[in-house]
Amino acid sequence: MEKDFSTLVSVSGLPGLYRVVANRHNGLIVEDLTNGQKRFAPVRSHQFSLLASIGIYTEDGTEDLQNVFLAMDAHSTPAPDVAVAKDEELRQYFRQILPTYDEEMVRMGDIRKVIKWFHFIKENDIMPEAENDSKVPAPKAEEE
């Protein structure tokens, strides 16, 4: 499966993430990443958020969602389970991942959604590769 965010989309009213298969003038044809089923999602019923265009507010501007996911993947502490973790635990984890995130602009629901999406991406093995200009530090090479 292709590992980039250019075709991944969140569809309001539908759980999980989807891959855009085709555009139509009145909606999108999307593929469910868990079972491969394709369906039409009309614009009259749904809103679409392309993951590649989502950013997290920081004190300096915004950080690309892909970079946040890469930082979460490289972090030594695993992401907490949003179903059982308390709000403060989730905020503390998010501060470790992105210390400069704007706590006034990034709501608790946003943090929960980012962590939930991260788990979904990891479970479905669609974590993108780090780009050369990424702000996420590359893992150190082991010395021989």
pLDDT of residue 142: 36
Look up residue 78 and give its two tokens. 């695993």
Residues 6+ apart with CB under 8 A from 82: 90, 112, 115, 116, 119
| Tens of pLDDT, residue by residue, the chain (144 residues) | 556 678 999 999 998 899 999 999 999 999 999 899 999 999 999 999 999 999 999 999 999 999 999 999 999 999 999 999 999 999 999 999 999 999 999 999 999 999 999 999 999 888 877 664 444 443 333 333
pLDDT of residue 127: 83
The neighbouring-strand residues paired with 18 are 9, 32
The neighbouring-strand residues paired with 113 are none
Closest CA to 107 of 96, 97, 94: 94
Closest CA to 56 of 116, 25, 3, 99: 99
Pick the CATH number of 55-123 from 1.10.10.1650, 3.40.309.10, 2.40.160.40, 2.120.10.30: 1.10.10.1650
